[in-house]
Chains A and B, each alone.
Chain A
Amino acid sequence: MNEKEMLDLLGVDADKGLKCIMSAYSGLAYSIAAGILADSEDRHEAVNDTFYKIWKAREDIDLSRASLKGYIAMVARSCSLNKLKTLKQYEPLPENEADLGIDVDFSSEDSARANEEIIRECVSSMPQPDREVFISRYYYEKPIAQIAQELGLKERRVEYILQKGKRRLRKALLKGGILL
């Protein structure tokens, strides 16, 4: 069953549709939640919230803008970070740290897709442990100290890797991306 069929099924039979979508993507949602939340119960809650929100927004999901998988990943991340906030364990990224100093265009579908592809390619081609550090920081929004501990690196090294990754991403977007 493809994503459109899953979404259609969700529209006509919530129970079957949700079961089908969860069977395909609960693993993805759990893996995202596990990257953000330490406690198993919290993860369950975040994943439940995720699929509840997907069900609630079923009529607004536009597969021409993003895949169902992409929506679920985005919502799972958001629910997990929200859960972290309610637990008062969330450390927001410093204002300037996540700024690349360029205006990347996500206003139209085409430019968003093109830029997403560049980001995907750039990050996935980073060597290890740079890639893991970069995703941990900017996708899972983990604190630098935690990343350093998990990967057995010095904090200064993690900071350096992040700087290097940002340079690389900035360069890739300046070279091939669509900017405002």
Chain B
Amino acid sequence: MRKINDMLKLIPPDELNGGITMKGTNGTDDNKSNISCSNKKNTNEIRLRRGTSGIVAAALVLAIGGGALAIALNRKDSAKTSPASSVSAVSDDALAEADSNARKVYNLINANISAYIVSGKLKEVATGSFKTDLASPDSDSAKVLTRSTQDRFNDPDAEKYFTEIAGSIADIPETGEIFYVVNERFKPVFVQYRAYEGAAVGQFSSVTDGRTEFGKLPETADSTGENTAADVKTAEHAKAFYDIFNRMQDDYLNGEYPINQNWAMLPPGELVVLDLDKRDRYADLIWRMEGYNAENVEFTGKLFIEYALGNDPDFVAWQPAEGGLIEVWFCNDGATGFNPGDYPDNETAWNLKQGSGYSYDEADIGMIANEMGCKRCILGAGGLLQGRITERSNMPKVFEWYESFLAGNFEPVKFNAKKLISPEKLEKVVEYNWIDTEKKEPVIIRTSDIEGANIYVNGRYYNVEDTSVLTLLDDGMPLPVNNTPA
């Protein structure tokens, strides 16, 4: 069986990397590589190079550079005709019609992007500036200029947003040239339209009132554009949820009194879709989340969460309750500084949204299960974390208990925050967690920390007769040598 490293060695690294040298391998004194390196913010260049060899990429860059030079020379030759004069040379009626068409095209682009976002297929949308022909758009532009949702989405919301935003499809011009900008938060911010070269250049923009010649970015905004205050607010709201989960995770791992791991234990089938408006159903989790709500954001709407088990949340997508777009905060821990658009891997969330639970296949579940092991978190007096151990000899007994528990089909006890026992008052807490590979669900069994329930299983509190699983540790189980989580 060939290993990944054995397979990868057959391919030169620049080809694996889409024609880009690795970070840290360029710019060295002895490295005279003929492979160029590009700024990761220049997403168009990276996209262009994907799937091409370094040499072809270099040729492309040269060709592009040459083209730019040719354009610059051409501009110099025609400097006597200023953009302003060419704009003023067209009639007001023609300009108004071109402006109207630019607005319609803007709506079409916005409708398509909205449908992609709502469907969780954001990674299919390219950001940056694009110049294309409406009759025969390039592949990136074609995705945002399509006049129906066709079979691209399997989400009624996508159709709804598309139809509402696009308006009358029949009115949108089918021919002509456009230049448009989609910023890094996937907002179209600037659209120009002209029926043909030399025709009036219509414009619709949320970043500038000034006009520019066709294909030129306005001076007031670069390709990233500026978000509106409302955009920023919703993005911050989504970011706050991401931060809340991170803080909870950090506390779970390192806190003096580790929290109940409910945030990772949403009910099976809806594992990572958290409806914040169903407060009764998710009372325990929402109550705990509120403790970490430093930003004081309103808990409403739906959260789509991707995380690695026992790991940081990968990203959080938020769909405000009042509708509108799902605002996405991609994983960005600040240290790496990559942009939101660099990490649009929400396919997993999409799969999860469909109620499929974990998107991992059998082998992955097995692998993760193996990694997770059957760890027991041992919390001593006061709920203080004594450590975690991975010891499997007693786990068959735990599994047996769990099976009989499931067969009992017990009714959960309703969570009531007022009945919560603070960690300081808990005498002992035992926790087991592993992955049920058949059901593809994580399992957590833990000492209850609310009055009126004597055990906690998978995000719910129960009062059951047999809690023997919680006493397994009493039979001479080894304790970790220090207080550091293993």
Hey, which bits of chain A sit against chain B, CB under 8 A? Answer: 24-28, 30-32, 34-35, 40, 43-44, 66, 69-70, 73-74, 77-78, 93, 98-104, 106, 112, 115-116, 119-121, 123-125, 127-132, 135-136, 138-141, 150-154, 156-157, 160, 163-164, 166-167, 169-171
Contact = CB atoms under 8 A, between A and B. Distances in A.
A69 B12 contact: yes
A26 B28 contact: no
A123 B8 contact: yes
B322 interface: no
A69 B15 CA distance: 11
A25 to B, nearest CB: 8
A135 B22 contact: yes
Given A34-B28, A153-B333, 14 more contacts: A30-B30, A40-B28, A77-B9, A98-B6, A99-B4, A116-B11, A120-B11, A124-B51, A127-B343, A128-B342, A131-B16, A139-B9, A154-B312, A167-B364
Contacts of B406: none
B14 interface: yes
Q: What 9 pairs across the A-B complex have the smallest Cβ distances?
A: A27-B33, A152-B335, A98-B3, A73-B12, A124-B18, A160-B308, A31-B33, A98-B4, A27-B34
Given A30-B30, A98-B3, A106-B2, A128 B10 contact: no
A43 B342 CA distance: 32
Give the one of B16, B28, B32, B336 with max A CB within 10 A. B16
B170 interface: no
B454 interface: no
A119 B34 CA distance: 23
12 contacts: A31-B25, A77-B9, A93-B5, A116-B10, A119-B16, A120-B16, A123-B17, A128-B342, A129-B336, A132-B17, A139-B9, A167-B360
A114 B28 CA distance: 34
Contacts, number: 175
A4 to B, nearest CB: 15
A101 to B, nearest CB: 5
B411 interface: no
A31 B17 contact: no
B335 A153 contact: yes
B224 interface: no
B11 A70 contact: yes
A98 B32 contact: no
Interface string B65-81: 00000000000000000
B34 A127 contact: no
B17 A124 contact: yes
A135 B17 contact: yes
B23 A150 contact: yes
Nearest to A156: B311
B229 interface: no
B40 interface: yes
B159 interface: no
A34 B51 contact: no
Contacts of A156: 308, 311-312
Contacts of B11: 70, 73, 116, 119-120, 123
B35 A31 contact: yes
Given A31-B21, A31-B33, A100-B4, A73 B364 contact: no
A12 to B, nearest CB: 25
Contact of A26 (B1, B32, B343, B367): B32
A85 B255 CA distance: 41
Contacts of B314: 160
Contacts of B26: 31
A159 B195 CA distance: 52
Contacts of A152: 333, 335-337
A151 B331 CA distance: 14
B2 A124 contact: no
Interface string B335-370: 111100011110000000000000011011001100
A40 B30 contact: yes
B24 interface: yes
Given A27-B35, A31-B35, A153-B336, A74 B9 contact: yes
Contacts of A35: 13, 22, 24-25
Given A99-B1, A157-B311, A169-B4, A131 B30 contact: no
